[in-house]
Structure 1
């Protein structure tokens, strides 16, 4: 059962959202559900987080 409350609340507050599917609660289609709920991108490993934040920061600065 997917609940998007955290994503919905974060987006309503003007925050950017990175989804995470690397935990035991993840399931097939979880990444799609996260992006459909409003996550800008989804990572599977915490090691990806630093580069994703850097990329989002650059993208934001270009906007």
Structure 2
């Protein structure tokens, strides 16, 4: 297992709200922009069918909001 470098710490998965667009679908958490070394298992989130166009990750609690 490799040790994360200083740049990796700037990518800690600590974002609590993320805005997504239709071009970003299908949605899963963590996203590709998240640092893999501090992530939970990938989970698909069905945001398109949500009445309020939001979805919350059951692992980390990040709220995703679809804006278009």
Regarding TM over 0.5, the answer is no
TM-score normalised per structure 1: 0.25
Task: Give the number of the structure with larger relative contact order, counting CA–CA contacts within 8 Å between residues 6 or more apart.
Answer: 2
| Greater helix share, structure number | 1
| Greater strand share, structure number | 2
Determine which structure has more spread, i.e. the larger CA radius of gyration.
Answer: 2
TM-score normalised per structure 2: 0.24
